[in-house]
Amino acid sequence: MHPSRIKGINRMRKIPTLFLFAALPWAASAQTTHELTNVGNTFSPNVITMDAGDNIHLVLTGNHTCTQVDQSTWNANGNTPNGGFNYSAGEHTFTLDVPGTYYYVCIPHAGLGMKGQIIVEPTTGVREEASTAQLGLFPNPAGNEVWINGLETGQIVQLIDAAGRLVLESQPTGDGLLNIAGVETGNYQVAIRDASGRMIAVKALAVVR
């Protein structure tokens, strides 16, 4: 299953009562629905910042699509899907619950710059801990360098600031060393992606000096 774990609202399974009450803090934070549509050849809004587990209500007219692509394709105004969400004209509702930045375009109009971003922020340590058991950061807080344990060949490390902006993208050295000397102090999310751009893990990192 793709890391975005897209879930159609009508396909949600019945949750046992005991589990539902245990999960209320998370469920309460997942009730926000964000509207996304198109105005001509433009997505409106073209940037959405949301909590993990929030819903996207998508309404597209004409021959537009909302198709997830990797960052390099997005930067180049390309239209090659990366295997994530891909919706055609009509009304759709979906959920993204893995933190990170999701890039999308309209396939027929990507060359004209019809594209957008969905920035998904973590809401609780429960979801983060479950998705990052294999990821270790040392030291944390960090100064000018941080070692990342558990990386595999070809994986990409992204540093995302508190506003959801990508401030650093790199492939660390063979021993997992990441140079962050040029990064301002503050709180960040370290996101690990594979070569196709799929999110694998995310973990909080504080940079102090």
Mean pLDDT value across residues 125-135: 45
pLDDT band of residue 128 (cuts 50, 70, 90) is very low
Tokens of residue 43, six digits = 């997505």
Kindly report the pTM of this predicted structure.
0.50
Pick the residue with more confidence: 101 or 1?
A: 101
pLDDT > 70 in the chain, percent: 78
DSSP E strand stretches across 61-176: 66-69, 86-87, 90-95, 100-105, 115-121, 136-138, 145-149, 156-161, 166-170
Domains of the chain: 32-121 (2.60.40.420), 125-207 (2.60.40.1270)
pLDDT digits (tens, 9 = 90+) for 51-64: 888 999 999 999 99
The pLDDT of residue 130 is 36
pLDDT digits (tens, 9 = 90+) for 155-182: 888 888 776 678 898 887 778 889 999 9
Tokens of residue 109, six digits = 């109009």
Mean pLDDT value across residues 13-35: 46
Give the burial string for 42-54 (b: 16+ CB within 10 Å, else e). Answer: bbeeeebebbbbb
Residue with tokens 């993204």: 96
Poorest-pLDDT segment among 15-29, 63-77, 194-208: 15-29
- Average pLDDT along the chain: 79
